[in-house]
Amino acid sequence: MLPYSYNPVDLIILYALISLFSAMITVNWYSFIADNIAEKRGHFLAIITNIASMGTVISLIAIFFLLDSNSRKDIIIPFTAASISYIASALIGFMLTEKKSKSIMSKNLLGYLKNPKK
């Protein structure tokens, strides 16, 4: 729809629709994340972030081929930098392993605050 928007009103309406859909999705995502087990939340969010990064790279490639040759010359450096950074962040994210750490706080917060060296 974006390549066919030639006037500002169309772009404003398109942006408003994107914002509306994003707002509706956000509530569902927060509910879904809250329902996950606490130990799995970080891993789940990392997967979602990597999928979003891949989607961004795919959209950059699509936009690159939709533009005419004069516009391509203007965006080749930012496009390449963005693509490399997204791919690198996805690879680094997949290679990292999360270390299990012991909880600092006890289950009884009031008891911990009274005697923090326990």
pTM confidence score: 0.44
C-alpha span between 32 and 25 (Å, rounded): 11
- Over residues 12-60, the pLDDT tens digits come to 788 788 888 877 776 677 777 777 666 777 777 777 777 877 777 787 7
Residue 110 pLDDT class (50, 70, 90 cuts): low
Nearest-angstrom CA–CA distance, 102 and 78? 42
Angle at 4 between CA 24 and CA 76, to 5 degrees: 90
Residue identified by tokens 């509706």 is 24
Domains of the chain, residue spans: 1-35, 37-98
Cβ-proximal residues to 57 (8 Å cutoff; 6+ apart), any chain: 82, 83, 86, 87
